[in-house]
Structure 1
């Protein structure tokens, strides 16, 4: 249905979990929330067909969607939670070190304005170990931005391409992100975001500090950054209580609301695709 379902390889991860292999996952019948937000789970810049099912990450988001008149909603948890189920951390994993830092980024339709030099100074003042800076693909391919972080002595990476209205996202995006997070002791950003929640659930110590920067024409609906800092005040700072952060991440990513493969196949209308796979295996 909606191309955003393929962003970050979300549909590919869920297809793996559901036992529906193939280079191209089946189309999800409905809209899958593709990023953490404080509204109804839907991206403000996308159009939606009334009555189409919404597959949301958490009960908090479902309640907000219901209050806005969106009735056919299902809490299924974030694809990230399913990836962790698919790839449990090895018991003898190498010791983690350093910090992976995610500067707040824009997207193709909105750009971020902020002082990268000041943010770099804050990172160098705060972090004691090696730092990996992960940039969104736009910033990564903007030489001036990327080189600022490289000249600061940071390792600079990009997890891949998110996807857009005409092209699916990189199906290995989340796998690369998980591999990187599990190599680092800390995860940090200048805004509370999906990447921070992912890092917490993957076992990183979180931090949210520094200039939050400004997104062009940022939508203040649902309260914006002021509400985020107010509602999740305990998740902001250079040192955060790990137990509190983990409990919040479980709630926000719906890690306690995951559905079994058979239920997801039914919700997504993937039952026929799964049946074809079984037939081909005989």
Structure 2
């Protein structure tokens, strides 16, 4: 029902898991969480219709949403966890270096911070090759992209998340998974979805450097200071990988995945055609 349900190809991944055609746009009867946050799982700029279900990633998020009066709320797990279940790693895999995700803005807000200082911190911390993955907005800013390239980093973008049913990219998460499985470490200057994704994908995590901020950023639900307090064990250039994995499983709901039949019932999706195989997802163009 909401266009954000299709961000990053989330609905396409879930459709594939449910045995439906992942190339089609399948409407979800409700609001699907599309990124990790410390509130009710939903984006603060979205308006919601009371009584329409919320589909969140984890039990902690469900409890927070419930305490804020959201009804009904269902825990379904993150689309990333379903993708990993469908795309087991091919061993042995050679991993090298770090994939680094600088905190990014979005269409409504840009990041304020010192990228030069962040580059210095990355170079002083990482011992292997570094791939910097920029959000499409920053990637399409030549001056900013060149700063990371001139520092000797490989600079990439996983693609455009899509919006308002245009420029949808069913392959976004697939590209992200392929890149993360190439790297030994995943890092960012803020704890975020990409770090949790990398942990589940087998990367050693790190969160360090100037966290920067969004222009006009408001500290909802405790903001960055709460994140640094509550998830202190996940911050620093070296993090306990086993402890981090346990946290990632909880935050992404990887231990709460639904069966295909359950998801189809919750989303009001049809059963897959008898004897039919889903059409492979077409390769996205990216940005």
TM-score range, shorter chain: over 0.9
Counterparts of 1:79 and 1:140, CA distance in 2: 24
Unmatched tracts of structure 2, length 5 or more:
278-287
1:175-211 superposed Cα distances (whole Å, 9 cap, x missing partner) = 0000000000000000000000000010000000000
For the pair 1:198 / 2:197, whether they are aligned, the reply is yes
Alignment of 1:247-258 (within 5 A): 247-258=246-257
Conserved? CA contact 2:102–2:188, under 8 Å: yes
1:60 paired residue number: 60
Counterparts of 1:154 and 1:184, CA distance in 2: 14
1:212 paired residue number: 211
Counterparts of 1:77 and 1:157, CA distance in 2: 27
1:47 paired residue number: 47
Task: Give the Å deviation of 1:91.
Answer: 2.5
Counterparts of 1:201 and 1:45, CA distance in 2: 28
Task: Give the Å deviation of 1:23.
Answer: 1.9
Task: Give the Å deviation of 1:169.
Answer: 3.2
Alignment of 1:106-255 (within 5 A): 106-167=105-166, 169-255=168-254
Conserved? CA contact 1:7–1:168, under 8 Å: no
Counterparts of 2:90 and 2:41, CA distance in 1: 32
Counterparts of 1:5 and 1:41, CA distance in 2: 12
2:98 paired residue number: 99
Conserved? CA contact 1:99–1:184, under 8 Å: yes
Conserved? CA contact 2:50–2:71, under 8 Å: no
Compute the TM-score of the two structures, normalised by the length of structure 2.
0.94
Moved over 3 A (4+): none
Of 54-63 and 161-170, deviating more is: 161-170
SS of 2:55 mapped into structure 1: strand
Task: Note the aligned Cα RMSD (angstroms).
Answer: 1.2
Unmatched tracts of structure 1, length 5 or more:
none
Compute the TM-score of the two structures, normalised by the length of structure 1.
0.96
Counterparts of 2:49 and 2:218, CA distance in 1: 21
